[in-house]
């Protein structure tokens, strides 16, 4: 079915909530014809590596990253095996699944299980929780929310070397073993990783109940239909046979060299907007569906944000912000199930903004949406001449973090300036020279308020703002304080304003932040931890690791000439965050629009 698009013409009728409001929007005939003439869809469907490279060395890399193109019609492992593995646990009466992962190894599974939870709230037999944060508050909550004897712990990392899941596994193992003993704890743990990886060897040494091989020719963010998603889906009661049967139909559409190909249409909608200066798109969906927006963020930003170009997806929680014209973005809306008032909400989006309206009616349909976005992102990479299967700038932060963890001097970067905080609840304060300039770097210590005004005052037309928070996203007042800062910036300054939670964003939009165009303004917010958690067999804590990652990303952004401010708070109590949010919002109000 062709995608539904809108242009400047509107109708106030909401009888057909998400039908196209007009049919005259051209999603890029030139773009479409270019992809059709390349036979991009059929060649991608047949895993033709020459679509992305001519050099033989690069072609070999492409080949090792195209295993996702036919996963719906050619599953990564027999579905009966996946169902059998899941049924072994469900027959034991499990009550919860905790997925320990990061980035592509967790995002799709988190999305599908959340959508399933919303759709089947009344009869959800198994609770699903994703542990992808280093926040001790968050980790303690997840571990304490279920009985280890009735919980399945899935440690998912394709490479088996990603630091966050490896460290979180140690914490979760200690917790489970303390309650159950090592032998019984092992029966509750499953690893999904490449054979021979560090995680695979670790899981074998602990005698994990299962070690499930991850697909070696599928990159993390393109792994939505691999066992890393299908196995957790089966554990919470999703029929993976039904899922892949429906997804295979969508896959068949996406490999056709036809104007009706939904992935071609989506790619051309985004690319046509991009060519007209709209290098961002706002994803508008009800709260129940915003987890799908996080998956799209990673898919698009990490695949396309490199070599100085990129497209920024932004999960927008308030459609009213889009009621006025914004020349640097388009809008994609998703209705997720039956949500009262959603049609009326998106009807207020400025009619001059290119819009695309789609639906997710149930969790099963989400798998088909995964396929469309995977193919569309690959098509966009062809149009933009960007290689989509690497993430070179993600590695930069990892490298710096390893250096800091080893105790090396963190002042080796000449592009940062340290300040002495003048507020009792601010422990560390630093800025990039790109933000403050050489002159101000030599001046007397500026106040926090001045630095916030300098940061926000540097925003200009076409820029975007990112609040990168290494903080708990739960607990009374915390989320509200963070959302207040993000929303105030968007509403008053008229820029795309993003709230990104660390370390998750490091494996997602973090690639675009450092490798994409230099039109981002960043504030990194971190804090000390009152009730920190020691990581077994290391000399540091979860809070220490999160702080180091925040500092490492600040250094990486500063080295890339980004406008960035890092504020490290005394704690992440809601009162402290609220005090800081007050100061931040006052600085926003002081900026001349």
* 6 band by pLDDT with thresholds 50, 70 and 90: very low
Mean pLDDT of the 429-443 span? 80
Q: Which residue has the higher pLDDT, 289 or 206?
A: 206
pLDDT at 263: 98
Distances (CA, A) of 87 to 81, 94, 95, 228: 10, 10, 13, 16
What would the two tokens of residue 1 be? 């079915």
pLDDT at 591 over 80: yes
Q: pLDDT tens digits, residue range 98-116?
A: 999 998 889 999 999 988 8
d(CA 29, CA 211): 48
d(CA 339, CA 294): 19
* 291 band by pLDDT with thresholds 50, 70 and 90: very high
Nearest to residue 466, comparing CAs of 272, 312, 317? Answer: 312
* 13 band by pLDDT with thresholds 50, 70 and 90: very low
Distances (CA, A) of 346 to 165, 314, 495: 38, 16, 19
d(CA 467, CA 61): 34
The Cβ-side half-sphere exposure at 92, using a 13 Å CA radius, reads 16
Lowest mean pLDDT, pick from 9-18, 121-130, 175-184, 226-235: 9-18
Nearest to residue 209, comparing CAs of 230, 194, 188, 228? Answer: 188
d(CA 546, CA 466): 18
pLDDT at 536: 97
pLDDT at 537 over 80: yes
pLDDT at 57: 78
pLDDT at 122: 57
pTM of the complete model:
0.93
Lowest mean pLDDT, pick from 5-9, 222-226, 345-349: 5-9
Peptide bond just before 461 cis, omega within 30 deg: no
Mean pLDDT of the 9-14 span? 30
Rg of the chain's alpha carbons, rounded to an integer? 23
């Amino acid at each position: 079915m062709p995608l539904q698009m809108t242009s400047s013409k509107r109708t106030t009728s909401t009888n057909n909530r998400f039908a196209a409001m007009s049919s005259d929007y051209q999603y890029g005939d030139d773009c479409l014809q270019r992809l059709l003439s390349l036979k991009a869809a059929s060649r991608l469907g047949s895993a033709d590596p020459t679509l992305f490279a001519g050099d033989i060395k690069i072609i070999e890399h492409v080949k090792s990253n195209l295993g996702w193109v036919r996963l719906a019609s050619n599953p990564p492992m027999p579905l009966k095996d996946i169902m059998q593995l899941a049924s072994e646990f469900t027959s034991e009466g499990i009550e919860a699944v905790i997925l320990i992962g990061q980035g592509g190894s967790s995002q799709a599974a988190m999305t599908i299980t959340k959508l399933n939870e919303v759709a089947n709230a009344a009869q959800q037999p198994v609770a699903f929780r994703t542990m992808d944060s280093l926040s001790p508050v968050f980790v303690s909550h997840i571990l304490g929310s279920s009985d280890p004897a009735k919980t399945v712990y899935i440690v998912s990392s394709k490479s088996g070397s990603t630091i966050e899941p490896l460290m979180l596994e140690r914490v979760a193992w200690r917790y489970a073993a303390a309650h159950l003993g090592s032998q019984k704890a092992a029966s509750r743990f499953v690893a999904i990783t490449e054979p021979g990886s560090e995680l695979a060897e670790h899981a074998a040494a602990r005698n994990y109940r299962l070690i499930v091989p991850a697909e070696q020719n599928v990159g993390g963010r393109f792994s939505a239909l691999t066992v890393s998603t299908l196995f957790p889906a089966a554990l919470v009661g999703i029929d993976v046979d039904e899922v892949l049967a429906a997804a295979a139909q969508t896959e068949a559409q996406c490999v056709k060299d036809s104007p009706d190909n939904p992935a071609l249409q989506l790619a051309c909608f985004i690319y046509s907007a991009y060519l007209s200066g709209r290098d961002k798109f706002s994803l508008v969906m009800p709260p129940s569906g915003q987890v799908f927006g996080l998956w799209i963020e990673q898919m698009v930003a990490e695949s396309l944000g490199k070599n100085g170009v990129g497209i920024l997806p932004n999960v927008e929680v308030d459609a009213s912000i889009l009621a006025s014209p914004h020349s640097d973005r388009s809008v994609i809306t998703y209705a997720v199930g039956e949500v009262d008032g959603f049609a009326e909400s998106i009807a207020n989006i400025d009619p001059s903004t290119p819009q695309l309206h789609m639906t997710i009616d149930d969790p099963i349909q989400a798998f088909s949406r995964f396929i469309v976005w995977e193919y569309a992102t690959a098509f966009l990479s062809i149009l933009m001449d960007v290689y989509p299967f690497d993430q070179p700038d993600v590695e930069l932060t990892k490298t710096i973090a390893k250096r800091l963890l080893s105790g090396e001097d963190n002042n080796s970067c000449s592009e940062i300036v340290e300040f002495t905080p003048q507020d009792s609840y601010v422990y560390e304060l630093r800025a990039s020279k790109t933000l403050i300039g050489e002159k101000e770097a030599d001046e007397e210590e500026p106040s926090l308020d001045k630095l916030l005004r300098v940061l926000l005052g540097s925003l200009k037309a076409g820029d975007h703002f990112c609040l990168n928070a290494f903080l708990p996203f739960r607990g009374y007042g915390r989320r509200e304080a963070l959302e207040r800062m993000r929303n105030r910036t968007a509403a008053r300054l008229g820029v795309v304003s993003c709230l990104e939670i660390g370390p998750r964003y490091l494996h997602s939009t973090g690639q675009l932040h450092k490798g994409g165009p230099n039109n981002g303004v960043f504030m990194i917010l971190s804090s000390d931890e009152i009730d920190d958690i020691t990581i077994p067999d290391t000399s540091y804590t979860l809070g220490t690791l999160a702080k180091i990652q925040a500092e490492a990303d600040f250094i990486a952004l500063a080295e890339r000439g980004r406008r960035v401010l890092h504020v490290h708070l005394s704690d992440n109590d809601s009162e402290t965050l609220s005090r800081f949010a007050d100061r931040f919002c006052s600085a926003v109000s002081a900026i001349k629009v």
